[in-house]
Structure formats: C-alpha cells, structure tokens
Amino acid sequence: MISIQLTFDDGPGPSTARLLDVLQHARFTATFFVLGKHAQVQPALLRRMAEDGHVIGNHTWSHARDGELSDQRLKDDIAATDRLIREAFEKAGVASPERIPLRLPYGAQEGDTRLRVLASLGRSHVGWTSLFDDWVRPAPNVDRLVGAMRAHMADQIHRNEDAVLCLHDASPTAEEREATVDAVERWLSLRVY
C-alpha cells in the first residue's frame, strides 16, 4: 500500500483557513511548507495547523531563488522560520517535532548552491512526485486539477510508489488559491486516497 501525501507550499494565506476546514472535515492530515514572512502575520493559522495534527514544514522566510541570498542570510531565514513553527506548536500545546522538514522555493535544481547550505545544517530538501499547475493565472479549472491529481495517483499506484502531491495554499505575495481548495475538497470526497 503506497502512502499519499498532500503538501501545500507558500502559505499561510487567504485560502488557508478554508483548506484547514476541508481537511478537518475529511480527517486528512497534510504537510504545510510555510513562508516565515506569511507565518509571522498569520500566527493563528499556524497554530491551528499544529492543533489539527498537520506537519508544518519550512519553505524559508522570503521565497528567494538560488543565488539571491548569501549563505548566512539563507541560514538566518531558515532559522527564523523554524522559530515561528516551534512557537506555533508550543502555543498549540503540541510537542514540537525533532526535525522540521524543509522544501526550498522553486525546488532543488541541479547544482543548486542552497543544497550546500542545507547540508551544512544537516537538513535535506523535501521534493514531490508531482507538481500541479495550481498557481497559474487565471486560476486553473477545478475539474482539470482534480483529474490531474487522480491521474498522478493512478500512475503511482501502478508503479507501487508513494505519492507526494505539491499544491499551493497561497503564493509568495499571499494570493488566494480557492481553486486548489475546491479541488482538494472534491478529491477528498472521492475517497481515492
């Protein structure tokens, strides 16, 4: 039996509260790779992620690309975001995990210098088995998004490999992602997981 993980990057944002409602209703736990700059202004949402049993991952503070920050600045950004995540667990009265998973903005490319920084911190990059174009403008068609999620699941089941779906509950500029929430709600209602 393969495991199926839903991961959400770039939040918390305006669509995150509804996404948490949808997940809670389906009793499904996910991983949120949050941006420190958004977490700082949405502490209640971060706390709710912890209370609801979700994994909170680090997506750095500012969503910088490879080469945009000095190594030290990237380390500081990661540490500041870790602090907010641990604070959320503390406020929720939930034990903070020993290791906070980390996903680099834009993913880890070949020769990505940020990987060297992660290695020096003893951290690794958490990737995905499929991205979905849920960040496009105008917002994607919900049926197509659900179809793509289902098709990826079918592929992974066929290969007998775990599935890590990468979706977005916000953006670096904290845009809403209502189509993503609608797609997740429909996908969960189909009980294909």
Q: Which two tokens stand for residue 88?
A: 């959320």
Of 50, 105, 118, 134, the residue at the interface with Zn ion (CB under 5 A) is 105
3-class state of residue 12 by DSSP: coil
Please report whether residue 134 would count as binding Zn ion according to CB under 5 A: no
Task: Name which of 10 and 77 has its Cβ closer to Zn ion.
Answer: 10
Q: Cβ(92)–Cβ(50) under 8 Å?
A: yes
Q: Cβ(34)–Cβ(59) under 8 Å?
A: yes
Judge whether 168 counts as a catalytic residue: yes
Please report whether residue 9 would count as binding Zn ion according to CB under 5 A: yes
Task: Name which of 10 and 182 has its Cβ closer to Zn ion.
Answer: 10
CB of 177 to Zn ion, least distance (A): 12
Q: Can you say whether the dihedral through the CA atoms of 57, 92, 19, 189 is positive or negative?
A: positive
CB of 15 to Zn ion, least distance (A): 15
Q: Cβ(187)–Cβ(30) under 8 Å?
A: no
Binding site for Zn ion (CB under 5 A): 9-10, 105
